[in-house]
Amino acid sequence: MPRAPLRVDTVRLFHQAELRAEALVGLLRMLAAVALGVSFTLVTRHETKPEEIEFLARQRLYALTMMAGYFSLGAFSLLGYRRGWLRIWMIWPAAAADCLYFLYGVWTSMISTGLPGSHAFVFPAVWLAPVVLAYGVLRFNPGIQAFIASLTVGGLVWLVSLPAGDGFTSGNGMAAPFLSFAPNVMRVAMLALAGAVLVIAAVRTRKLLLRSITEAQKALNLTRYLPAQLAPRLAAGGLEELRRGRWHQAGILFIDLRGFTALSQGMSAEELSEFSTEYRQRVTVAAVRGNGLIDKFMGDAAMIVFEDDLAPRRAAAACVDCTFALQREIADWSAQRQARGLPPVRAGVGAHWGAVFSGVVGPGERLEYSVFGDTVNAAARLEEETKRLNVSILVSCDILKMAGRDPDAAPWDVAAETELRGRDGALALRGWRGDRGGPETGAAPEPGAGAAG
Protein backbone atom coordinates (compact mmCIF):
# COMPACT_ATOMS: atom_id res chain seq x y z
CA MET A 1 0.00 0.00 0.00
CA PRO A 2 1.63 3.29 -1.05
CA ARG A 3 2.30 5.79 1.67
CA ALA A 4 0.15 8.93 1.61
CA PRO A 5 2.08 12.08 0.72
CA LEU A 6 2.76 14.54 3.49
CA ARG A 7 0.49 17.56 3.63
CA VAL A 8 1.97 20.91 2.70
CA ASP A 9 1.70 22.27 6.25
CA THR A 10 3.35 19.10 7.61
CA VAL A 11 6.28 19.54 5.23
CA ARG A 12 6.55 23.18 6.26
CA LEU A 13 6.65 22.26 9.95
CA PHE A 14 9.28 19.60 9.23
CA HIS A 15 11.42 22.14 7.39
CA GLN A 16 11.11 24.60 10.25
CA ALA A 17 12.22 21.91 12.70
CA GLU A 18 15.17 20.95 10.47
CA LEU A 19 16.29 24.56 10.20
CA ARG A 20 16.11 24.99 13.97
CA ALA A 21 18.14 21.80 14.35
CA GLU A 22 20.77 23.14 11.95
CA ALA A 23 20.99 26.35 13.99
CA LEU A 24 21.61 24.22 17.09
CA VAL A 25 24.30 22.26 15.23
CA GLY A 26 25.86 25.58 14.24
CA LEU A 27 26.03 26.68 17.87
CA LEU A 28 27.57 23.34 18.86
CA ARG A 29 30.20 23.72 16.11
CA MET A 30 31.19 27.09 17.52
CA LEU A 31 31.41 25.72 21.07
CA ALA A 32 33.41 22.70 19.89
CA ALA A 33 35.85 24.93 17.99
CA VAL A 34 36.39 27.14 21.03
CA ALA A 35 36.80 24.16 23.38
CA LEU A 36 39.31 22.48 21.05
CA GLY A 37 41.20 25.74 20.59
CA VAL A 38 41.53 26.26 24.34
CA SER A 39 42.56 22.62 24.88
CA PHE A 40 45.11 22.76 22.06
CA THR A 41 46.64 25.97 23.42
CA LEU A 42 46.97 24.54 26.93
CA VAL A 43 48.61 21.27 25.88
CA THR A 44 51.14 22.90 23.53
CA ARG A 45 52.45 25.55 25.94
CA HIS A 46 55.25 23.33 27.31
CA GLU A 47 58.88 24.05 26.47
CA THR A 48 60.04 22.50 23.23
CA LYS A 49 63.41 21.50 21.84
CA PRO A 50 64.86 23.72 19.11
CA GLU A 51 64.36 21.02 16.47
CA GLU A 52 60.63 20.77 17.40
CA ILE A 53 59.86 24.49 17.12
CA GLU A 54 59.26 24.48 13.36
CA PHE A 55 57.16 21.32 13.52
CA LEU A 56 54.92 22.61 16.35
CA ALA A 57 54.51 25.97 14.62
CA ARG A 58 53.26 24.17 11.53
CA GLN A 59 50.92 22.02 13.60
CA ARG A 60 49.53 25.09 15.38
CA LEU A 61 48.87 26.76 12.03
CA TYR A 62 47.03 23.73 10.70
CA ALA A 63 45.01 23.28 13.91
CA LEU A 64 44.06 26.94 14.38
CA THR A 65 43.11 27.29 10.72
CA MET A 66 40.88 24.27 10.99
CA MET A 67 39.26 25.49 14.21
CA ALA A 68 38.69 28.98 12.81
CA GLY A 69 37.06 27.51 9.73
CA TYR A 70 34.88 25.24 11.84
CA PHE A 71 33.83 28.17 14.03
CA SER A 72 32.95 30.16 10.90
CA LEU A 73 30.85 27.28 9.57
CA GLY A 74 28.91 27.18 12.83
CA ALA A 75 28.44 30.95 12.82
CA PHE A 76 27.16 30.76 9.23
CA SER A 77 24.43 28.26 10.19
CA LEU A 78 23.37 30.08 13.34
CA LEU A 79 23.37 33.53 11.76
CA GLY A 80 21.60 32.22 8.66
CA TYR A 81 18.77 30.82 10.75
CA ARG A 82 18.39 33.95 12.83
CA ARG A 83 18.44 36.22 9.76
CA GLY A 84 16.02 33.99 7.87
CA TRP A 85 18.13 33.15 4.84
CA LEU A 86 19.13 29.60 5.85
CA ARG A 87 17.56 27.08 3.45
CA ILE A 88 17.01 23.32 3.62
CA TRP A 89 19.43 22.58 0.76
CA MET A 90 22.22 24.35 2.69
CA ILE A 91 22.13 21.62 5.35
CA TRP A 92 23.66 19.11 2.94
CA PRO A 93 26.85 21.07 2.12
CA ALA A 94 27.13 22.02 5.80
CA ALA A 95 26.96 18.35 6.76
CA ALA A 96 29.59 17.55 4.13
CA ALA A 97 31.78 20.32 5.55
CA ASP A 98 31.54 18.71 9.01
CA CYS A 99 33.08 15.55 7.59
CA LEU A 100 35.64 17.30 5.37
CA TYR A 101 36.93 19.45 8.23
CA PHE A 102 37.97 16.57 10.43
CA LEU A 103 39.24 14.53 7.45
CA TYR A 104 41.26 17.55 6.37
CA GLY A 105 42.66 17.83 9.89
CA VAL A 106 43.83 14.22 9.87
CA TRP A 107 45.27 14.53 6.36
CA THR A 108 47.28 17.69 7.16
CA SER A 109 48.65 15.99 10.30
CA MET A 110 49.77 13.05 8.18
CA ILE A 111 51.40 15.36 5.62
CA SER A 112 53.26 17.38 8.25
CA THR A 113 54.53 14.29 10.10
CA GLY A 114 55.08 11.96 7.15
CA LEU A 115 53.21 9.17 8.95
CA PRO A 116 51.30 6.65 6.81
CA GLY A 117 47.55 6.10 6.81
CA SER A 118 47.92 3.19 9.20
CA HIS A 119 48.69 5.81 11.88
CA ALA A 120 45.61 7.97 11.11
CA PHE A 121 43.88 7.03 14.34
CA VAL A 122 46.70 8.41 16.50
CA PHE A 123 45.82 12.00 15.52
CA PRO A 124 43.36 13.86 17.78
CA ALA A 125 41.42 15.25 14.80
CA VAL A 126 40.13 11.79 13.87
CA TRP A 127 38.09 11.64 17.05
CA LEU A 128 35.88 14.41 15.78
CA ALA A 129 34.22 11.66 13.73
CA PRO A 130 31.85 10.53 16.55
CA VAL A 131 30.93 14.18 17.17
CA VAL A 132 30.09 14.70 13.49
CA LEU A 133 27.99 11.52 13.48
CA ALA A 134 26.15 12.77 16.56
CA TYR A 135 25.36 16.06 14.80
CA GLY A 136 23.41 14.07 12.25
CA VAL A 137 21.05 12.70 14.90
CA LEU A 138 20.08 16.23 15.91
CA ARG A 139 18.82 16.80 12.37
CA PHE A 140 16.45 13.76 12.59
CA ASN A 141 16.91 13.27 8.85
CA PRO A 142 17.98 9.71 8.01
CA GLY A 143 19.11 10.76 4.53
CA ILE A 144 21.58 13.31 5.91
CA GLN A 145 22.66 10.87 8.63
CA ALA A 146 23.43 8.20 6.01
CA PHE A 147 25.25 10.82 3.91
CA ILE A 148 27.44 11.82 6.89
CA ALA A 149 28.17 8.21 7.80
CA SER A 150 29.15 7.39 4.20
CA LEU A 151 31.47 10.40 3.92
CA THR A 152 33.04 9.66 7.31
CA VAL A 153 33.68 5.98 6.65
CA GLY A 154 34.73 6.52 3.03
CA GLY A 155 37.11 9.31 4.01
CA LEU A 156 38.71 7.23 6.75
CA VAL A 157 39.13 4.28 4.40
CA TRP A 158 40.92 6.59 1.99
CA LEU A 159 43.14 8.05 4.74
CA VAL A 160 44.08 4.63 6.09
CA SER A 161 45.21 3.58 2.61
CA LEU A 162 47.62 6.51 2.14
CA PRO A 163 51.34 5.64 2.05
CA ALA A 164 53.95 7.10 4.38
CA GLY A 165 55.87 10.24 3.58
CA ASP A 166 59.55 10.44 2.76
CA GLY A 167 61.89 9.41 5.57
CA PHE A 168 59.35 7.33 7.47
CA THR A 169 60.75 4.12 8.93
CA SER A 170 58.44 1.43 10.22
CA GLY A 171 59.07 0.52 13.82
CA ASN A 172 58.94 -2.86 15.50
CA GLY A 173 57.78 -1.65 18.91
CA MET A 174 54.90 -2.98 20.96
CA ALA A 175 52.48 -0.46 19.35
CA ALA A 176 53.22 -1.50 15.79
CA PRO A 177 50.70 -4.41 15.66
CA PHE A 178 47.91 -2.06 16.78
CA LEU A 179 48.63 0.35 13.94
CA SER A 180 48.53 -2.29 11.24
CA PHE A 181 45.85 -2.86 8.61
CA ALA A 182 43.57 -5.25 10.51
CA PRO A 183 43.06 -3.09 13.66
CA ASN A 184 42.40 -0.04 11.49
CA VAL A 185 39.77 -1.96 9.53
CA MET A 186 38.10 -2.82 12.83
CA ARG A 187 38.14 0.84 13.91
CA VAL A 188 36.55 1.95 10.65
CA ALA A 189 34.01 -0.88 10.89
CA MET A 190 33.00 0.22 14.40
CA LEU A 191 32.48 3.78 13.20
CA ALA A 192 30.44 2.43 10.29
CA LEU A 193 28.34 0.41 12.75
CA ALA A 194 27.84 3.52 14.90
CA GLY A 195 26.76 5.40 11.77
CA ALA A 196 24.23 2.67 10.89
CA VAL A 197 22.77 2.71 14.40
CA LEU A 198 22.44 6.49 14.25
CA VAL A 199 20.67 6.24 10.88
CA ILE A 200 18.12 3.93 12.52
CA ALA A 201 17.82 6.40 15.40
CA ALA A 202 17.21 9.21 12.92
CA VAL A 203 14.48 7.18 11.19
CA ARG A 204 12.78 6.52 14.51
CA THR A 205 13.08 10.15 15.62
CA ARG A 206 11.65 11.36 12.33
CA LYS A 207 8.67 9.02 12.64
CA LEU A 208 8.02 10.18 16.19
CA LEU A 209 8.23 13.81 15.09
CA LEU A 210 5.87 13.15 12.18
CA ARG A 211 3.40 11.49 14.53
CA SER A 212 3.65 14.39 16.96
CA ILE A 213 3.07 16.96 14.21
CA THR A 214 0.17 14.95 12.79
CA GLU A 215 -1.52 14.64 16.19
CA ALA A 216 -0.98 18.35 16.86
CA GLN A 217 -2.53 19.21 13.49
CA LYS A 218 -5.51 16.98 14.20
CA ALA A 219 -6.05 18.69 17.54
CA LEU A 220 -5.68 22.11 15.90
CA ASN A 221 -8.16 21.20 13.18
CA LEU A 222 -10.64 19.97 15.76
CA THR A 223 -10.43 23.20 17.74
CA ARG A 224 -11.45 25.07 14.60
CA TYR A 225 -14.80 23.31 14.67
CA LEU A 226 -15.28 22.23 18.27
CA PRO A 227 -15.65 24.41 21.38
CA ALA A 228 -12.45 24.98 23.36
CA GLN A 229 -14.11 23.59 26.52
CA LEU A 230 -14.07 20.13 24.92
CA ALA A 231 -10.26 20.01 24.92
CA PRO A 232 -10.01 18.03 28.23
CA ARG A 233 -12.51 15.43 27.01
CA LEU A 234 -10.79 15.26 23.65
CA ALA A 235 -7.40 14.72 25.31
CA ALA A 236 -8.79 12.07 27.68
CA GLY A 237 -10.82 9.95 25.27
CA GLY A 238 -10.04 11.17 21.79
CA LEU A 239 -12.35 12.04 18.95
CA GLU A 240 -13.91 8.57 18.75
CA GLU A 241 -15.31 8.85 22.26
CA LEU A 242 -16.84 12.21 21.39
CA ARG A 243 -18.33 10.67 18.25
CA ARG A 244 -20.00 7.92 20.28
CA GLY A 245 -21.67 10.57 22.42
CA ARG A 246 -23.28 10.14 25.84
CA TRP A 247 -26.37 10.88 27.91
CA HIS A 248 -25.79 13.18 30.87
CA GLN A 249 -27.36 15.97 32.92
CA ALA A 250 -26.85 19.56 31.81
CA GLY A 251 -28.27 23.03 31.96
CA ILE A 252 -29.41 24.47 28.63
CA LEU A 253 -29.81 28.20 28.04
CA PHE A 254 -31.28 29.98 25.02
CA ILE A 255 -31.07 33.70 24.32
CA ASP A 256 -32.81 35.52 21.48
CA LEU A 257 -32.91 39.20 20.56
CA ARG A 258 -36.28 40.92 20.41
CA GLY A 259 -37.27 42.78 17.25
CA PHE A 260 -34.08 41.86 15.43
CA THR A 261 -35.79 41.72 12.02
CA ALA A 262 -37.03 45.29 12.33
CA LEU A 263 -33.66 46.47 13.62
CA SER A 264 -31.71 44.82 10.83
CA GLN A 265 -33.89 46.19 8.03
CA GLY A 266 -32.60 49.70 8.65
CA MET A 267 -28.91 48.69 8.74
CA SER A 268 -26.29 48.69 6.04
CA ALA A 269 -24.26 45.52 5.50
CA GLU A 270 -21.37 46.97 7.50
CA GLU A 271 -23.65 48.07 10.34
CA LEU A 272 -25.30 44.65 10.47
CA SER A 273 -21.92 42.95 10.61
CA GLU A 274 -20.77 45.18 13.46
CA PHE A 275 -24.07 44.66 15.31
CA SER A 276 -23.86 40.86 15.03
CA THR A 277 -20.21 40.86 16.09
CA GLU A 278 -20.93 43.00 19.17
CA TYR A 279 -23.86 40.77 20.13
CA ARG A 280 -21.83 37.57 19.84
CA GLN A 281 -18.93 39.06 21.77
CA ARG A 282 -21.20 39.98 24.67
CA VAL A 283 -22.86 36.56 24.70
CA THR A 284 -19.43 34.92 24.64
CA VAL A 285 -18.17 37.03 27.55
CA ALA A 286 -21.11 36.03 29.74
CA ALA A 287 -20.85 32.37 28.75
CA VAL A 288 -17.11 32.11 29.33
CA ARG A 289 -17.34 33.74 32.75
CA GLY A 290 -19.81 31.05 33.80
CA ASN A 291 -17.78 28.26 32.18
CA GLY A 292 -20.58 27.70 29.69
CA LEU A 293 -20.11 26.01 26.33
CA ILE A 294 -21.58 27.91 23.39
CA ASP A 295 -23.11 25.13 21.35
CA LYS A 296 -24.11 27.33 18.45
CA PHE A 297 -25.20 30.74 17.25
CA MET A 298 -28.34 30.78 15.12
CA GLY A 299 -28.68 34.26 13.66
CA ASP A 300 -29.68 36.46 16.61
CA ALA A 301 -30.13 33.45 18.92
CA ALA A 302 -27.60 31.39 20.85
CA MET A 303 -27.59 28.12 22.78
CA ILE A 304 -25.27 27.66 25.76
CA VAL A 305 -24.61 24.40 27.62
CA PHE A 306 -23.57 24.08 31.28
CA GLU A 307 -22.33 20.69 32.42
CA ASP A 308 -20.18 19.34 35.23
CA ASP A 309 -20.45 15.63 35.97
CA LEU A 310 -18.59 16.02 39.26
CA ALA A 311 -20.51 19.09 40.44
CA PRO A 312 -23.95 19.28 38.74
CA ARG A 313 -25.22 21.78 41.33
CA ARG A 314 -22.42 24.15 40.40
CA ALA A 315 -23.25 23.79 36.70
CA ALA A 316 -26.94 24.49 37.31
CA ALA A 317 -26.11 27.55 39.43
CA ALA A 318 -23.76 28.82 36.73
CA CYS A 319 -26.52 28.44 34.14
CA VAL A 320 -28.99 30.43 36.25
CA ASP A 321 -26.39 33.12 36.96
CA CYS A 322 -25.57 33.34 33.27
CA THR A 323 -29.18 34.29 32.45
CA PHE A 324 -28.73 37.45 34.50
CA ALA A 325 -25.19 38.03 33.25
CA LEU A 326 -26.52 38.00 29.69
CA GLN A 327 -29.24 40.52 30.57
CA ARG A 328 -26.65 42.80 32.17
CA GLU A 329 -24.54 42.61 28.99
CA ILE A 330 -27.57 43.40 26.84
CA ALA A 331 -28.63 46.26 29.14
CA ASP A 332 -25.13 47.76 29.02
CA TRP A 333 -25.01 47.46 25.25
CA SER A 334 -28.49 48.96 24.92
CA ALA A 335 -27.52 51.97 27.06
CA GLN A 336 -24.43 52.57 24.91
CA ARG A 337 -26.53 52.42 21.74
CA GLN A 338 -29.13 54.84 23.08
CA ALA A 339 -26.38 57.26 24.06
CA ARG A 340 -25.36 57.29 20.38
CA GLY A 341 -28.95 57.87 19.27
CA LEU A 342 -29.50 54.25 18.18
CA PRO A 343 -32.52 52.05 19.00
CA PRO A 344 -32.30 50.00 22.21
CA VAL A 345 -31.94 46.24 22.19
CA ARG A 346 -33.75 43.63 24.26
CA ALA A 347 -33.45 39.89 24.67
CA GLY A 348 -35.35 36.97 26.12
CA VAL A 349 -33.54 34.19 27.99
CA GLY A 350 -34.81 30.73 28.89
CA ALA A 351 -33.09 27.94 30.85
CA HIS A 352 -33.87 24.37 31.87
CA TRP A 353 -32.06 21.40 33.47
CA GLY A 354 -32.32 17.75 32.51
CA ALA A 355 -30.96 14.85 30.50
CA VAL A 356 -29.30 15.61 27.15
CA PHE A 357 -27.40 13.64 24.56
CA SER A 358 -24.17 15.23 23.38
CA GLY A 359 -21.58 14.19 20.84
CA VAL A 360 -19.59 15.13 17.76
CA VAL A 361 -21.25 14.65 14.40
CA GLY A 362 -20.32 15.37 10.81
CA PRO A 363 -17.46 14.46 8.44
CA GLY A 364 -13.84 14.93 9.45
CA GLU A 365 -13.47 18.16 7.55
CA ARG A 366 -16.55 19.74 9.18
CA LEU A 367 -17.16 18.43 12.66
CA GLU A 368 -19.87 19.83 14.89
CA TYR A 369 -20.56 19.35 18.58
CA SER A 370 -24.30 18.84 19.04
CA VAL A 371 -26.49 18.66 22.13
CA PHE A 372 -30.09 17.57 21.77
CA GLY A 373 -32.98 15.99 23.61
CA ASP A 374 -36.16 16.99 25.41
CA THR A 375 -34.22 19.33 27.74
CA VAL A 376 -32.94 21.32 24.76
CA ASN A 377 -36.41 21.60 23.29
CA ALA A 378 -37.84 22.69 26.64
CA ALA A 379 -35.20 25.42 27.09
CA ALA A 380 -35.93 26.73 23.59
CA ARG A 381 -39.67 26.80 24.36
CA LEU A 382 -39.00 28.68 27.62
CA GLU A 383 -37.17 31.38 25.68
CA GLU A 384 -40.21 31.67 23.39
CA GLU A 385 -42.54 31.84 26.42
CA THR A 386 -40.75 34.97 27.68
CA LYS A 387 -42.66 36.90 25.02
CA ARG A 388 -46.09 35.63 26.11
CA LEU A 389 -45.39 36.13 29.80
CA ASN A 390 -43.69 39.50 29.23
CA VAL A 391 -40.55 38.54 31.15
CA SER A 392 -36.87 38.95 30.39
CA ILE A 393 -35.83 35.62 31.94
CA LEU A 394 -37.81 32.41 32.31
CA VAL A 395 -36.33 29.33 34.00
CA SER A 396 -37.73 26.00 35.12
CA CYS A 397 -38.06 25.10 38.78
CA ASP A 398 -36.05 21.97 37.86
CA ILE A 399 -32.90 24.00 37.30
CA LEU A 400 -33.54 26.16 40.37
CA LYS A 401 -33.89 23.01 42.49
CA MET A 402 -30.64 21.58 41.09
CA ALA A 403 -28.88 24.91 41.70
CA GLY A 404 -30.10 25.05 45.30
CA ARG A 405 -32.06 28.24 44.66
CA ASP A 406 -35.38 29.09 46.34
CA PRO A 407 -38.00 29.47 43.57
CA ASP A 408 -40.20 31.60 45.84
CA ALA A 409 -37.48 34.10 46.80
CA ALA A 410 -36.18 37.18 45.02
CA PRO A 411 -35.48 38.02 42.26
CA TRP A 412 -38.25 35.89 40.76
CA ASP A 413 -41.41 37.95 40.35
CA VAL A 414 -43.44 35.69 38.06
CA ALA A 415 -44.64 32.16 38.83
CA ALA A 416 -46.24 30.06 36.13
CA GLU A 417 -47.02 26.49 35.22
CA THR A 418 -47.42 25.70 31.59
CA GLU A 419 -47.48 22.87 29.12
CA LEU A 420 -44.86 23.61 26.52
CA ARG A 421 -45.59 22.92 22.89
CA GLY A 422 -44.18 19.55 21.86
CA ARG A 423 -43.76 18.34 25.46
CA ASP A 424 -46.02 16.22 27.66
CA GLY A 425 -46.74 17.38 31.18
CA ALA A 426 -46.78 20.78 32.86
CA LEU A 427 -43.54 22.51 33.79
CA ALA A 428 -43.27 24.80 36.80
CA LEU A 429 -41.57 28.06 35.86
CA ARG A 430 -40.17 31.21 37.44
CA GLY A 431 -39.65 34.47 35.61
CA TRP A 432 -37.93 37.81 36.07
CA ARG A 433 -39.45 40.89 34.46
CA GLY A 434 -36.96 43.48 35.52
CA ASP A 435 -38.66 46.82 34.93
CA ARG A 436 -41.43 45.04 32.93
CA GLY A 437 -40.36 47.09 29.95
CA GLY A 438 -37.18 45.24 29.14
CA PRO A 439 -33.65 44.99 30.46
CA GLU A 440 -32.38 48.23 28.97
CA THR A 441 -33.21 50.08 32.19
CA GLY A 442 -33.87 47.28 34.66
CA ALA A 443 -30.85 46.09 36.67
CA ALA A 444 -30.33 42.34 36.62
CA PRO A 445 -29.31 40.89 40.00
CA GLU A 446 -25.77 39.71 40.64
CA PRO A 447 -24.90 35.98 40.50
CA GLY A 448 -26.22 33.92 43.38
CA ALA A 449 -29.36 35.96 43.92
CA GLY A 450 -32.13 33.86 45.39
CA ALA A 451 -29.83 31.13 46.70
CA ALA A 452 -31.29 28.95 49.36
CA GLY A 453 -30.27 29.30 52.92
Beta strands in 299-345 (DSSP E): 301-306
The whole-model pTM stands at 0.54
Strand partners, 348: 256
Cis amide bond preceding 411, omega within 30: yes
d(CA 355, CA 187): 72
Q: Each residue of 355-412: pLDDT tens digit?
A: 999 877 766 666 677 888 999 999 999 999 999 999 999 999 999 999 999 999 889 9
Q: Each residue of 123-178: pLDDT tens digit?
A: 777 878 888 888 877 877 888 888 888 988 888 888 888 887 665 556 555 555 56
* Type and span of the H or E element at 396: strand 393-396
Q: Give, for all 453 residues of the chain, the pLDDT tens digit.
A: 344 444 556 677 778 888 888 888 888 888 888 887 777 777 666 655 555 556 666 667 777 777 788 888 889 889 988 888 888 888 899 888 888 888 888 888 787 777 887 888 877 778 788 888 888 778 778 888 888 889 888 888 888 888 876 655 565 555 555 666 667 677 777 777 777 877 787 787 778 877 777 766 666 655 555 665 665 565 555 566 667 778 889 999 999 999 888 888 878 889 899 999 999 999 999 999 998 988 889 989 999 999 988 899 999 999 999 999 999 999 999 999 999 999 999 999 999 999 999 877 766 666 677 888 999 999 999 999 999 999 999 999 999 999 999 999 889 999 998 887 666 778 899 999 975 443 333 455 665 554 443
Question: Are 119 and 178 spatial neighbours (Cβ–Cβ below 8 Å)?
Answer: no
d(CA 391, CA 412): 10
Give whole-number Cα distances, 386 to 103, 383, 392, in Å: 85, 5, 6
Q: Is 66 left (phi over 0), alpha (psi -120 to 50) or beta?
A: alpha
